[in-house]
Amino acid sequence: MSVLADADELIAATRATRVELRPNVQLEALALAVSANLPVLLWGEPGIGKSSALQQLADRLGVMMETVIASIHEPSDFAGLPVVGEDPATQGVPMAPPDWAVRLSRRGEGIVFFDELSSAPPAVQAALLRVVLERRVGSLELPPAVRVVAAANPPASAADGWHLSPPLANRFVHLQWTHDPAVVARGLAGTWPTATLPRVEPGRTTSALARARGTLSGFLTARPGLTHHLPADAEARGGPWPSPRTWEMALRLLTFGMASDAGREALSTALVGAIGDGAGLELVNYLDELDLPDPNRVLANPDAFQLPTRGDRQLAFLTAIVAAVQSDLTHARWDAAWTVLAKAVDAGVPDVAARAAHDLAVMRHKSWAVPPTIDAFVDILRLSGALS
């Protein structure tokens, strides 16, 4: 037996710990974004547990994690190395993927963790663009179930740190990672925290997507200037900011948050991490005040529904109604939606329902009778071409 055997046994004992469920917003926000299969970037000082938290999450999910130190790789490690075959003129020259990508592809699921991202030079960051967004490494396409997570130190504390390029930064949900001294003290005593993983409830998915679509459509209709806003300074451009791409990310986060048991604070943290502080905080306040009813319940009994009095709530809810009908289009649900839209006419705000009326009219099957409530929208629909 090796003279180091006793030492190795003692080392193993120091690593043996257990975990306990404990509320942790940053862990819950990470789990939500990973569940929604959105690229996540953890920002934090060196040595505060970013990698270990992600490994713990991978263990709880039961998937493998491949760690790639971005700062020590060349652009070709992500774009692929050319492999010349027998007849390049006919077959082309494929780009061979690295071993970690092949292992993930064979497994079919997992987490690829790009560490030290802020220490990667611009050429490497550019090569990572396609990996992060399209999940392509050389000629290999990673399976859809592979999640992408990265970690970065602030440029001031990173070794040869660089600001993230705006195109790369705009592909991530950014989460600020901090440490709690009490958690560290308890962890060194042998117990580390673990967060509750969000579980999607199948019965809530349709309503969640419809409500999320209505919420974001109503919000951006009221605040169109937040649709795209590239910050002026380089440091802010390397963080989260609103763009059509990140609003799509916000839609998925909001849908997952509404369809699961994710905590409100974790959802808010993830949304701010996708679209930035300014737009994110406005959206969170908007969500707190909006409180849209379940569109599927309203469609089941439209006569009992009372239209909200606020214009932004009216627009958001009618958009949600249309999205719900589109996701499960039947004659009965289509008719019920027109009953809901008629309440906007009765409330004296037909202009609020005009866009929803157009979208509903386009969905109509030729065999379906035109409901009498459509009369209030005839002129608008004829002008748009939806009614002939």
Q: What is the pLDDT of residues 187-246, one digit of tens each?
A: 888 888 887 788 899 988 989 999 999 999 989 988 999 999 999 888 889 999 999 999
User: Percentage of the chain with pLDDT > 90?
Assistant: 44
Percent of the chain with pLDDT over 70: 92
Residues in the chain: 388
Residues 6+ apart with CB under 8 A from 158: 116, 118, 119, 152
Q: Is the pLDDT of residue 388 over 60?
A: no
Q: Tens digit of pLDDT for each residue in 358-383?
A: 888 889 898 998 887 777 676 656 65
Residues 21, 27: Cα–Cα separation, whole Å: 11
φ, ψ (nearest 5 deg) of residue 88: -60, -35
The pLDDT tens digits of the residues spanning 41-94 come to: 999 988 888 888 898 899 888 999 999 998 888 888 888 777 766 666 666 667
Which pLDDT does position 66 carry in this prediction? 95
Residue 158: what pLDDT?
Answer: 56
Query: What is the overall mean pLDDT for the chain?
Result: 87
- The dihedral over CA atoms of 67, 71, 72, 75, expressed in degrees to the nearest 10, equals 100
Contact indicator for 211, 292 with CB cutoff of 8 Å: yes
pLDDT of amino acid 324: 93
DSSP-derived 3-state class of residue 192: strand
The mean per-residue pLDDT over the stretch 114-137 comes to 89
- What's residue 82's pLDDT? 72
Average pLDDT over residues 119-141: 88
What is the model's pLDDT at position 182?
86
pLDDT at 175 over 90: yes
Q: What is the pLDDT, as a whole number, of residue 161? A: 66
Predicted confidence (pLDDT) at residue 113 exceeds the cutoff of 80: yes
Q: How far lies 366's CA from each of 7, 140, 382, 388, in Å?
A: 79, 45, 16, 12
Asked if pLDDT for residue 146 goes beyond 70, the answer is: yes
In this structure, what token pair is assigned to residue 320? 């949600």
Among 277, 246, 50, CA closest to 154: 50
Nearest to 59 by CA among 192, 178, 177: 192
Q: Which of 185, 254, 223 is nearest to 36 (CA)?
A: 254
What's the pTM? 0.87
Distance CA 262, CA 198 (A): 5
User: In whole angstroms, what is the distance from residue 26 CA to residue 32 CA?
Assistant: 10
pLDDT of 167:
92
DSSP summary character for residue 310: S
Q: Which residues, other chains included, contact 344 with Cβ-Cβ below 8 Å and sequence gap of 6+? A: 307, 314, 318, 350, 352, 353
Tokens of 135: 């999940």
pLDDT score, position 332 = 93
pLDDT digits (tens, 9 = 90+) for 309-339: 887 788 888 999 999 999 999 999 999 999 8
Question: Would you call 36 helix, strand, or coil by DSSP?
Answer: coil
**Can you name the CATH fold of 16-82+94-194?**
Rossmann fold (3.40.50)
Please state, in angstroms and as integers, the Cα–Cα distance from residue 61 to each residue in 57, 91, 158, 195, 348, following that order. 6, 40, 30, 12, 52
DSSP string spanning 234-258?
Answer: HHHHTS----HHHHHHHHHHHHHHH
Could you tell me the pLDDT band of residue 1, with boundaries at 50, 70 and 90? low
Q: State residue 89's pLDDT score.
A: 63
pLDDT of residue 260 exceeding 70: yes
Q: Which helix (H) or strand (E) holds 177?
A: none
How many angstroms separate the CA atoms of 331 and 72, rounded?
59
pLDDT category of residue 120 using cuts at 50, 70 and 90: confident
pLDDT of residue 301: 92
pLDDT score for 331: 93
Q: Tell the residue number behind the tokens 């309203």, with chain if given.
A: 298
In terms of C-beta distances under 8 Å and separation of at least 24 residues, what long-range contacts does 12-18 make, across chains too? Answer: 16/190, 17/187, 17/190, 17/191, 17/192, 18/190, 18/191, 18/192
Cβ-based neighbours of 224, under 8 Å, separated by 6 or more: none
- Rounded Cα distance between 75 and 71, Å, is 10
Query: Is pLDDT of 160 > 80?
Result: no
pLDDT at position 197: 83
